[in-house]
Every structure is written in structure tokens, then in C-alpha cells.
Structure 1
């Protein structure tokens, strides 16, 4: 009878007591029955799901808040110089550091800009300039990019046309403005044509340089795969040329606005260049500065759009898993 009791309590040492091996299930049960002792090993089993989605939602909210705070701080740091310039612009004329007749305070310029925007004049002039600028810019990019890819792909053609391209690149577009006016008149054709001419060269030369400076290692690897020329151009040359091509396109975007303003000062009846020129003649200095600020804002916005487009295309052309 005692042996049965010993077996039940796990203390029996006789032949009737079950012999257990260290680490077996029986040993674990016996150790648990003996009372407090060393902490048992962590049991691996199914983990209970968290109650609700509050932690994950809170984590997302905290992450969003951190990103928003970081973005606000970054925007504040990047705008310090602009704010300092505006403060200097406002205080210098009021402290008579400059003649406020020729440089009115920024607040007066802002009032003039608001009045132009309220009566619709600013919108009319802006739309006229944007239509000319974007038309010329689009034509230049549509012609210069394929032509640059073609010239850069055929080295003999690039060597043949290189000197001629250098001559035209170093001829300022504004220097040819009287020629365009004499040949095409003072209408819309001459203004769009001068924009096309000014924008074509940065895009064309950047594209040619991009094609001719592709990494030779990529070319050797592609040729080792026996890719046909058309496939080599599509899979290697064209993706590798995208960053340099967009550099030329961004330069052309800035040039399209600047050249157009100068062209609109001759024989135009609408446009931001006409607004600036007419305001100067009528001695409406705040309106003149309002037109200049509008041109600067358009240039910055256009450049940011091209940067975002470049990032989108750059993400698209990135190799999968690379």
C-alpha cells in the first residue's frame, strides 16, 4: 500500500516507482508538484491576439505625428531665408535705407498683387504667359529629346554636328530676339518660337551627353548577352539616360519663363512681361514687383513639378529587387 502511495507522490524508490529521464514530461510534472522551485522554461504555444486594434492605431498616429512635425520643422528651416528677405524688404524702405519710390515695402507690393488678382488682370496675364511658355517648352522637349537620343546613339553623327551645336548653344536666345521678330513678326509665332529655340538646346545637349556617357560596364554586360541594338537601346541606354535628360528639361523649364518675359516686352498686349513693362512705363512700381513675384512663383512651382515627375519616372525605371 505504501508503494502505491510512493508512486502517487513520486517519491518512491522501489522497483514499482517509475524511472524518469531528465527533461521528460513526467519529470516536469513531478517538479511542478514539488512546489516552488526554479522557473520553468517558457512554453511555446499560440499567442493570443491583442484585444482590439488600439495599439496599432496609436502607433500609426504617433508615426504620422512625427512625420508631420519633421516636415514642419524642415519647411520652417528651408523658409528662414525667404522670411528674412521679406523682413528686410519690408523694413529697409521704411527705415529709409533705400528709396521707397523705387523699392516700396513688401506690404504695398502684396496689396498691389491682391488688387491685380481681385480684378482678374493677374489671371489674364498669367494665362497668356503660361500658354506661350508651355507650348514652346512642350515643342522643344518633344523635338529635342528624340533628336538628342538619335545623335548620341550614332557617334559619327554626334562628331559631325558637334561644332555646329556648340555655335548655337553659345548664341544667346535674347540676342536673336530681333531676328525672330523681323522674320516672324510681333505676334504669337515669334514669341513661341523664341521659347522653343531657348529650351531646345539644354534638352538636346543634355540628352546627347547622357547617351554618350552611359556606364561602359553596363554596355559590356548587355552586349555579352547578345542583345540586339534596338533592345540594348531600350533596356540600357534609355533608362540610364533619364537623370541627365531631366536635368536638361529642368533647365529648359526655367529658361522658358525667363525668355518669354523678355519676348513679351516687345509688341505684346498681354502677359506677365507686358504687365511688368507697362507698369514701369506708368510708374506703377508696386504692380511691377507684383508681376516679378508672380513670375518667380511660377518658376518655382514648375521646377517642383518637374522634380516630382523625375522622381516618379526614376522609381518606375528602378530594377525590381535591385
Structure 2
């Protein structure tokens, strides 16, 4: 019985670690900028991912396979989409509160539906269409200007957050494809080795770009190694459990349960950043969550 719910345990653990990592990255953005804070999770997360893989190999006795062309292609797409999604999410956090920025990214399952229509010609049912309307209404409520709020800033935050959700959606699909394409016998080895490949690709690519274009950002990252190390560990931990969940369950139920991150974000937003969510934003978040659940279970 426990084995049937193992993916749920992995997902809740991943959501909790991801919330704390996002909070750490939000703090680092002020010093390192969006690209620098985004790179922290890859550069400092890779060593921890390698340690996780070594530990798994020691326990299972199975050596990780070299990624084939298909697995490498899927993983590379997922890695690229994840970098872009993280950068957009951190940019949104600069414009809106922590919890609302996270909620914007949770339009991800809605966007998965739209991608299915466009790329797979899968027509949605009436229930699913209604769910899209409800979720979209939630996003509009969250982004609706109140008082003397900066309308341009709110519109920008909405676009950045939804764009982040779209890229996270593509990333989740690609990573699951990469794990499924692995030739490993154990799902734990498949997930762990795919994570190492993804972080290695991200680390190598972004480090090279920073060395060529923004070496000062890379120096700043290395100077702030202590908080960066913590963010990297939390990022690797979250990714490890996301990948384990994707290895044994479809992306849709994993991402649905992952909405619990919004509740975790509420706690962090109130306790750490002293940010308050307005009533209209709270209603919008509720509608968004309801719409996403209807899509996945309707």
C-alpha cells in the first residue's frame, strides 16, 4: 500500500524543498541578479546531485548507464526550459509578493492542456474547458491592480509568471521523457542519473556564458558561496524528489499534488518576508488551484 503512495511522498518532499530554495534564490536575486541567482541552483546543486547518485549506486549496486541520444535530447530540452522558467519566476518575484509569484507559475498544468491541444491534437472535454476559464479568472484576479498599484508592473509580473509556468510545463514533460528513455533497471538510478546529466548541462552552459559575457556575476556567485551552497543543496534535493516522482508516476498527478507548494509559499511569505496576501489575491489563488485540479481530475 505504501508503495502506491511513494510518488506522493516524493512530491510533497520536493514541493517543500523547492519552496525553501525559491525563498533563498529570492534573497540572492538582490545581490546576484536574476541570471546569477538562477545559476546558483545549478552550479552549487550539481555536487550534491553527484553525491546523491553515488549514494544510490552504493545502495543498489547498479552502475548508472551512459545516456543514449534520446535520453540526452529529452534531458537537454528539459534543462533549457528549467533554466528559463526559473529566471522568469525570480523576475516575477521582484515585481509581486513571493506567494503570488509562485501562484503564477502554477498555471503550468493549464498550459500543459493547451500544449496538448496544439501539439497532440487532444481536444478537451467541457469540464476541462470550464476549468481553464476558472483558472484563468484566478490569474486575472491575482493580477488585477488595487489602489495605486503599478499597472505596468503587475502586467509584467503576470506575463513573467505565466511564461515561467509554460517553461516549467515543457521541462516536466521533457524530464519525464528523459527518465523513461534511460536504460537503467532501477527507477531510482534512472531518476538520479538523469538529474546529474541535467545539472551538468545547465552548469556547463551557463558558466561558459557568464565567463564570456558577465564574469563579474560569476565572481559574485563564488564570493557568496555560503548562502549559494544552501540554495544549491535545497535545489538538488527538490529536483531529486521531483525526478523520483516522475520516474514512477505521470507528470499530471505529480504536478497536481505539487500545488501544495502554494500553501508552503504562503507560510514562507508571511513568516520570512512579512508579506501579506490580499483578499482578492487569495480568492484568485483559490480559483487557480480549483481550476488546475478540475483539469487533472475532471
**TM value normalised by structure 1:** 0.27
Q: Which has the higher contact order (CA 8 A, sep 6+)?
A: 2
**TM value normalised by structure 2:** 0.29
Identify the structure with the greater helix proportion: 2
